[in-house]
Amino acid sequence: MKKIKSICCIGAGYVGGPTMAVIAQKCPEITVTVVDINDKRIAAWNEKNVENIPIYEPGLPEIIKEVRNRNLFFSTSVNEAIQRAEMIFISVNTPTKTYGLGKGMAADLKWIELCARQIASVANTDKIIVEKSTLPVRTAATLKSILTTTGNGVKFQILSNPEFLAEGTAIRDLLCPDRVLIGGDQEDREGREAIQALVDIYREWVPETRILTTNVWSSELSKLTANAFLAQRVSSINAISELCEKTGANVGEVANALGMDSRIGSKFLNSSVGFGGSCFQKDILNLVYIAKSYGLHEVAHYWEQVIVMNDHQKRRFAANITRSLYNTVAGKKITLLGWAFKKDTNDTRESAAISVADYLINEQADIAVYDPRVETEKIYSDLDSLETRTDLENRTKLKVFSDPYEACKDAHAIAILTEWDEFKSYDWARIYNCMIKPAFLFDGRNLLDTQKMLNLGFVFRSIGAEPRSAKVVKIRTAKVG
Ligand code: UDX
Ligand code: ADP
Q: Is the pLDDT of residue 476 over 60?
A: no
Q: Which of 147-156, 424-433, 464-473 has the lowest mean pLDDT?
A: 464-473
- Do the Cβ atoms of 164 and 179 come closer than 8 Å? yes
Q: Is the pLDDT of residue 477 over 60?
A: no
The question of whether 9 is a catalytic residue gets the answer: no
Class of the CATH-defined domain 6-206: alpha beta
Residue nearest to atom 6 of ligand 2 (CA): 93
Total residues belonging to the chain? 481
Q: Is the pLDDT of residue 36 over 50?
A: yes
Beta-carbon contacts of residue 253 (< 8 Å; ≥ 6 apart): none
Cα–Cα dist 344/400, whole Å: 19
Count Cα atoms within 13 angstroms, Cβ side, for 263.
Answer: 0
Coil/strand/helix, residue 68: strand
Ligand nearest to the backbone CA of 258: 1
Q: What pTM was estimated for this model as a whole?
A: 0.94
Give the pLDDT confidence of 438-453 residue by residue, as tens digits: 999 999 999 999 999 9
Domain with CATH 3.40.50.720 in the chain: 6-206, 216-481
Cα–Cα dist 121/151, whole Å: 6
The pLDDT assigned to 153 comes to: 85
The pLDDT assigned to 145 comes to: 87
The closest alpha carbon to 119, from 11, 199, 244, 2, belongs to 11
Give the pLDDT confidence of 37-78 residue by residue, as tens digits: 999 999 999 999 999 999 999 999 999 999 999 999 999 999
Helix (H) or strand (E) holding 9: strand 6-10
Coil/strand/helix, residue 442: strand
Kindly give the pairing relationship between strand 87-90 and strand 127-131: parallel
**What does the pLDDT average to over 82-87?**
97
Q: Is the pLDDT of residue 1 over 70?
A: no
Give the pLDDT confidence of 85-111 residue by residue, as tens digits: 999 999 998 888 889 988 888 888 888
Task: Decide which of 3.40.309.10, 3.90.1150.140, 3.40.50.720, 3.40.50.10540 is the CATH code for 216-481.
Answer: 3.40.50.720
Count Cα atoms within 13 angstroms, Cβ side, for 300.
Answer: 14
CA 249, 250, 251, 254: dihedral to nearest 10 degrees? -70
Cα–Cα dist 8/24, whole Å: 11
pLDDT > 90 fraction of the chain, expressed in percent and rounded? 87
Provide residues with CB under 6 Å of ligand 1: 163-167, 227, 230, 234, 268-270, 272, 275-277, 279-280, 341-342
Measured at the CA of 379, the angle between CA 55 and CA 421, to 5 degrees, comes to: 60
The pLDDT assigned to 440 comes to: 98
- Do the Cβ atoms of 75 and 42 come closer than 8 Å? yes
Residue nearest to atom 3 of ligand 2 (CA): 93
Residue nearest to atom 28 of ligand 1 (CA): 268
DSSP string, 373-435: S--HHHHHHHHHTTTSS-HHHHHHHEEE-SSHHHHHTT-SEEEE-S--GGGGGS-HHHHHHTS
Reported in sequence order, the residue ranges of 31-164 that DSSP labels E, i.e. its strands, are 31-35, 72-75, 87-90, 127-131, 156-160
pLDDT > 70 fraction of the chain, expressed in percent and rounded? 97
Distance (angstroms) between ligand 1 centre and the Cα of 176 equals 17
Q: Is the pLDDT of residue 473 over 80?
A: no
The pLDDT assigned to 200 comes to: 97
Cα–Cα dist 29/20, whole Å: 13
Which of 77, 92, 146 most suits a substitution to test ligand 2, by most atoms within 8 Å of the C-beta?
92
Atom of ligand 1 nearest to the CA of 165: 7
The catalytic residue among 8, 115, 279, 408 is 279
> Quick check: CB of 36 below 6 Å from ligand 2?
yes
Distance (angstroms) between ligand 1 centre and the Cα of 166 equals 6
- Do the Cβ atoms of 56 and 373 come closer than 8 Å? yes
Distance (angstroms) between ligand 1 centre and the Cα of 227 equals 8
- Do the Cβ atoms of 445 and 418 come closer than 8 Å? yes
When pLDDT is cut at 50, 70 and 90, the band that residue 138 belongs to is: confident
> Quick check: CB of 37 below 6 Å from ligand 2?
yes
Coil/strand/helix, residue 87: strand
